[in-house]
């Protein structure tokens, strides 16, 4: 970078001397959109923002590039808007490098210190379909920007942005640039953005290419932010878009669960896997037995919270742990169907049932309960199994046994009385019918299928 291209910027005196626009209806910069963009791309970052002004092609005019560096602080939106006003009058486009640097004059990839956003440039093909693919697999973006250009088919070119929860630097910054390249490869976007120093047009400034003027404008804006590691997981899981995308090379294997459960993981990507990868693996490991009914939701949440406290350094905040648990829970239900949840998630497991020694039973002198069907065929709290070939009348026999032994609740022993006589009939197979007395019906149904929305995490509080 030569000194001829460096401009030391003072917004009070610089770029305010351009001639007024000849056309009162000409497109002018939008300071509000510029401020929104600066917040998404530089709001959490420290250092200097490299800003570049190039005369757009196709206007029949030439001009040298103008480069300025402005502080990434509260004054940045106003300074950038001032520069954009000058650029609009000169027919110049306004670009920024997507990360901050330490000193004026720095523009190389190695100079970028911090970066806090993911972006993909959709500039060809079926752009609406590509956007749908991204939203489906990566979630709604923070900004969707119409960059000003048009494809040969007339579609509007887009820049799609996701704001990170914190700036990336060091090794995380390199991984962030790699993610930008992977996203572009999978949807047929511009792969130049895997370079940290690739500049991009600023929303709220004016596009002049080909003599046509348009506002580079924000189509949609949200307040959403994404975690870097969580986004990396989503990008890894996103399939290439059919017909246009291509898979990235050397996919990384997920860590083995036996290693995950006993290995400390630190923030900053210094270990074999990230905190997000470890937490996701552990949460999935404990959600499976909950989904299958082998573990209560209380027990599952206790195990997940225990892993978070024991193995993540620093541990995740509980609200983030809850969000990730709910996300994986819904995904597991989508893939494997409705869960089998204990009706009383606080009920003790079978291993907690009271037990008695043989001596205690022999010494027990309490009176035996009366037989419902004697001798000792069916007792209160007991279970009677009727076996036989299919269609020989097991169910009818069980109905009649129930009615015959519970006449006060059944007006007619000749009519079926399921659900009216205090007995429940279950048929787990075509050759076994069971008849359970009323006092044990809840014990015979310790679990029930519940819709996903009734089983959110954590189970209490």
At residue 337, the pLDDT reads 87
Whether pLDDT at 310 is above 80: yes
Give the residue-averaged pLDDT of 426-450: 41
Spatial separation of the C-alpha atoms in residues 29 and 251, rounded to whole Å:
43
The token pair that represents 380 in the structure block: 């209160």
Whether pLDDT at 455 is above 70: no
The token pair that represents 392 in the structure block: 């020989």
pLDDT band at residue 404 under the 50/70/90 scheme: confident
The token pair that represents 142 in the structure block: 């923070």
Answer yes or no: are the C-beta atoms of 134 and 231 closer than 8 Å: no
Answer yes or no: are the C-beta atoms of 15 and 57 closer than 8 Å: no
Q: For residues 214 and 350, which has the higher predicted lDDT (pLDDT)? A: 214
At residue 339, the pLDDT reads 87
Most distant pair of Cα atoms in the chain: their distance: 109
Rg (the chain; Cα; Å): 34
Give the residue-averaged pLDDT of 45-74: 86
At residue 204, the pLDDT reads 94
Q: Where are the beta strands (DSSP E) in 137-258?
A: 143-150, 156-168, 199-201, 206-207, 214-215, 217-221, 225-226
Whether pLDDT at 202 is above 70: yes
Give the residue-averaged pLDDT of 164-187: 90
At residue 154, the pLDDT reads 87
At residue 184, the pLDDT reads 92
Answer yes or no: are the C-beta atoms of 208 and 59 closer than 8 Å: yes
Whether pLDDT at 81 is above 70: yes
Give the residue-averaged pLDDT of 86-105: 91
Answer yes or no: are the C-beta atoms of 84 and 28 closer than 8 Å: no
pLDDT band at residue 47 under the 50/70/90 scheme: very high
Estimate to the nearest angstrom the gap between the alpha carbon of 267 and the chain centroid: 19
Return the ∠ at Cα 347 (arms to 344 and 352), rounded to 5°. 160
At residue 14, the pLDDT reads 58
Whether pLDDT at 225 is above 80: yes
Question: Of the given ranges (21-25, 32-36, 172-176, 448-452), which has the lowest mean pLDDT?
Answer: 448-452
Q: At what angle do helices 76-90 and 31-42 cross, to 10 degrees?
A: 130
Whether pLDDT at 420 is above 50: no
**C-alpha dihedral, 232 to 234 to 237 to 242, nearest 10°:** -110
Percent of the chain with pLDDT over 70: 76
Q: Would you say the C-alpha torsion 433, 394, 402, 375 has a positive or negative sign?
A: negative
Provide φ and ψ at 16, rounded to 5°. -105, 0
Q: How many residues does the chain have?
A: 461
Question: Of the given ranges (109-123, 252-266, 276-290, 408-422), which has the lowest mean pLDDT?
Answer: 408-422
Spatial separation of the C-alpha atoms in residues 107 and 135, rounded to whole Å:
32
What is the reported pTM? 0.55
Whether pLDDT at 372 is above 70: yes
CB within 8 Å of 188: residues ≥ 6 apart = 124, 125, 130, 241, 244, 245
Answer yes or no: are the C-beta atoms of 243 and 69 closer than 8 Å: no
Percent of the chain with pLDDT over 90: 34
3-class SS at 281?
Answer: helix
At residue 355, the pLDDT reads 77
At residue 397, the pLDDT reads 84
Which domains, from first to last, does the chain contain?
3-237 (3.30.70.1790), 257-346 (no CATH), 374-444 (no CATH)
Q: For residues 5 and 297, which has the higher predicted lDDT (pLDDT)? A: 297
Question: Of the given ranges (285-289, 370-374, 384-388, 392-396), which has the lowest mean pLDDT?
Answer: 370-374
At residue 447, the pLDDT reads 38
Give the residue-averaged pLDDT of 173-192: 90
Q: For residues 366 and 22, which has the higher predicted lDDT (pLDDT)? A: 366
Whether pLDDT at 396 is above 70: yes
At residue 413, the pLDDT reads 39
Question: Of the given ranges (14-18, 91-95, 435-439), which has the lowest mean pLDDT?
Answer: 435-439
Spatial separation of the C-alpha atoms in residues 37 and 39, rounded to whole Å:
5
Task: Note the pLDDT tens digit of each residue in 19-43.
Answer: 555 555 678 899 999 999 999 999 9
Give the residue-averaged pLDDT of 292-316: 90
Give the residue-averaged pLDDT of 378-392: 81
Task: Note the pLDDT tens digit of each residue in 231-274.
Answer: 888 888 788 888 876 655 445 567 889 999 999 988 756 677 77
pLDDT band at residue 394 under the 50/70/90 scheme: confident
> Cβ–Cβ contacts within 10 Å for residue 25, how many?
6
Q: Would you say the C-alpha torsion 26, 32, 36, 38 has a positive or negative sign?
A: positive
Q: Which helix (H) or strand (E) holds 282?
A: helix 275-291
What average pLDDT is seen over the chain? 79
Q: Would you say the C-alpha torsion 177, 181, 187, 189 has a positive or negative sign?
A: positive
Q: Which residues pair with 159 in a beta bridge?
A: 121, 145
> Cβ–Cβ contacts within 10 Å for residue 396, how many?
11
Peptide bond into 166 cis (omega under 30): no
Q: At what angle do helices 318-336 and 275-291 cross, to 10 degrees?
A: 50
CB within 8 Å of 51: residues ≥ 6 apart = 67, 68, 69, 70, 80, 83, 94, 95, 96
At residue 453, the pLDDT reads 46
Buried-exposed string 33-49: b where 16+ CB fall within 10 A, e elsewhere = bbbbbbebbbebbebbb
């Amino acid at each position: 970078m030569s000194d001829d291209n460096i401009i030391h910027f003072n917004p009070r005196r610089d770029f305010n001397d351009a001639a007024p626009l000849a056309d009162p209806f000409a497109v002018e910069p939008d300071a509000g959109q510029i401020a929104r963009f600066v917040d998404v791309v530089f709001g959490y970052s420290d250092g200097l923002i490299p800003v570049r002004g190039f005369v757009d092609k196709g206007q029949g005019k030439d001009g040298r590039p103008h480069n300025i560096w402005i502080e990434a602080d509260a004054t940045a939106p106003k300074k950038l808007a001032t520069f954009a006003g000058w650029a609009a009058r000169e027919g110049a486009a306004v670009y920024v490098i997507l990360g901050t640097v330490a000193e004026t004059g720095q523009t190389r990839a190695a100079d970028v210190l911090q970066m806090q956003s993911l972006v993909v440039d959709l500039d060809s093909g079926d752009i609406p379909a590509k956007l749908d693919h991204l939203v489906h697999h990566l979630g709604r973006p923070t900004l969707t920007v119409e960059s000003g250009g048009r494809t040969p088919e007339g579609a509007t070119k887009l820049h799609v942005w996701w704001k990170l929860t914190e700036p990336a630097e060091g090794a995380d910054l390199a991984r962030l640039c790699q993610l930008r390249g992977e996203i572009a490869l999978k949807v047929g976007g511009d792969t130049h953005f895997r370079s940290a120093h690739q500049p991009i047009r600023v929303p709220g400034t004016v596009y002049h290419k080909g003599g046509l003027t348009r506002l580079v404008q924000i189509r949609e804006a949200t307040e959403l932010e994404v975690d870097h590691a969580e986004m990396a997981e989503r990008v890894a899981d996103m399939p290439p878009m059919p017909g246009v995308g291509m898979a990235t090379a050397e996919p990384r294997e997920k860590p083995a669960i036996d290693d995950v459960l006993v290995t400390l993981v630190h923030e900053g990507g210094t270990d074999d896997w990230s905190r997000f990868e470890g937490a996701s693996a552990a949460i999935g490991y404990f959600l499976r037995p909950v989904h299958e009914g082998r573990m209560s939701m209380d027990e599952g949440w206790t195990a997940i919270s225990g892993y978070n406290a024991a193995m993540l350094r620093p541990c995740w905040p509980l609200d983030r742990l809850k969000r990730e648990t709910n996300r994986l829970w819904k995904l597991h239900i989508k893939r494997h169907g409705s869960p089998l949840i204990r009706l009383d998630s606080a009920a003790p497991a079978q291993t907690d049932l009271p037990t008695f020694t043989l001596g205690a039973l022999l010494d027990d002198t309490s009176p035996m309960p009366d037989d419902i069907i004697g001798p000792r065929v069916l007792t209160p709290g007991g279970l009677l199994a009727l076996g036989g070939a299919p269609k020989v009348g097991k169910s009818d026999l069980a109905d009649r046994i129930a009615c015959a032994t519970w006449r006060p609740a059944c007006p007619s022993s000749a009519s079926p009385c399921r659900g009216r006589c205090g007995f429940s009939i279950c048929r787990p197979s075509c050759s076994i019918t069971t008849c359970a007395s009323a006092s044990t019906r809840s014990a015979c149904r310790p679990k029930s299928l519940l819709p996903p929305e009734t089983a959110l995490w954590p189970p209490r509080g």
